[in-house]
Amino acid sequence: MTRKKIFVFLTGALFGMFASAAGVVFADDSALSVPFDQLRTFSEVFGRIQKDYVEPVSDQKILEDAIRGMLAGLDPHSTYLDPEQYNDLRVGTTGQFGGLGIEVGMENGFIKVISPIDDTPAQRAGVEAGDLIIRLDGKPVKGMTLEKAVKTMRGEPGSEITLTVVRGKEERPFTIKIVRDVIKIRSVRSRMVEDGYGYVRISSFQSRTGEGLRKNLRDLEEANNGKLKGLVLDLRNNPGGVLNAAVTVSDAFLTSGLIVYTEGRMEDSEFKYQATPNEILAGAPIVVLINAGSASASEIVAGALQDHKRAVIMGEKSFGKGSVQTVVPTSNGGAVKLTTARYYTPAGRSIQAEGIVPDILLSRVRLEELENPGIRPISESDLSNHLT
């Protein structure tokens, strides 16, 4: 029996941001069956392309494009990673890499911005959640794979790229110039907002975010000369990340009970995560801020604290990404990222395409929305082929 290491992910397509390895599990691939009769058609088409296509095409390109096509028809988050892309994904967990600083998904052949990341070139240039990118340096993205578009947006730090963007009810597309940079994600920041009350901002969930949260809370208590009276936990525009980090952050505010669980067809895709008695705030009240850019791991934290009635959730309905991606290395050095499970809150709620509904719903009060009422931010349910 052979076994392959596979990695569990919770985010969509990323560039200039972070990758999200949630840990390592093992899957038994010895019992996989291959429908040879159906593959005869594939073999016929493969041979016809090799023999008759107007220009020569390498076997590798034909096969990789076929794999991408298989996965593209499943859901927005299943995809093929060539060796370079797979390496970028693994390197991204360090929290330092080149790029723009946004998370994106594919929608009707165009690139949709799920969320810009704090203190990155994209955010500083004015990129917003829900923006539709239609051109990259003047070249249409229609017809590009998501991986190709992401690769195009990457580049040497200091180099410039021009995005052509459609936003809400703007009359016409406009351009945004961004200078690429090495993205150093500091996922946790904090400050005192008034006497006894702290504010913690988590912009992404990386492997050391839980550790960073506890350090920031200790710093706040030191600045306060004692325990906090209350805390604001800001998860707005946090697109997710490492599952274990979401569990660790949730656990910091709970004393017992279920945090999150996953269910899928694959035996190794089912997990349950329990809280431990090491609650750090000693029961002080918590307000969690979310919006339409809060996705995946952010929704795990908000859902767990909401179900345990440990925090009041305020803001907008969250993005609604409640699926788990498993990354399986392939023999050529690449990998297949395949949706293998859904995750559920302690009360059994599926977040997939539903999101977290705040206890206190706050409308988006922003100048452009006052000028253009009725604009709705993008959510998981807007993506083609999304899971229900």
DSSP-assigned beta bridge partners for residue 166? 132
322: left (phi over 0), alpha (psi -120 to 50) or beta: alpha
Q: Tell me the C-alpha distance between 364 and 292, whole Å.
A: 10
| First and final C-alpha spacing in the chain | 34
78 is a catalytic site residue: no
Q: 88, 234, 307, 382: which is the annotated catalytic residue? A: 307
Is residue 152 classed exposed, middle or buried when 0-12, 13-18 and 19+ CB atoms within 10 A define those classes? middle
Catalytic residue among 115, 204, 207, 296: 296
Catalytic residue list contains 251: no
- Of the candidates 112, 204, 250, 321, the residue annotated as catalytic is 321
Encoding tokens for residue 122?
Answer: 């994209």
Active-site residue 184, yes or no?
A: no
Buried b (16+ CB within 10 A) or exposed e, 328-338: bbeeeebbbbb
> Do 264 and 344 form a contact (C-beta atoms < 8 A)?
no
Task: Find residue 290's DSSP bridge partners.
Answer: 315
Measure Cα distances from 333 to 68, 91, 101, 255, 281 in Å.
Answer: 16, 14, 26, 42, 45
Q: Which residues are catalytic?
A: 296, 307, 321
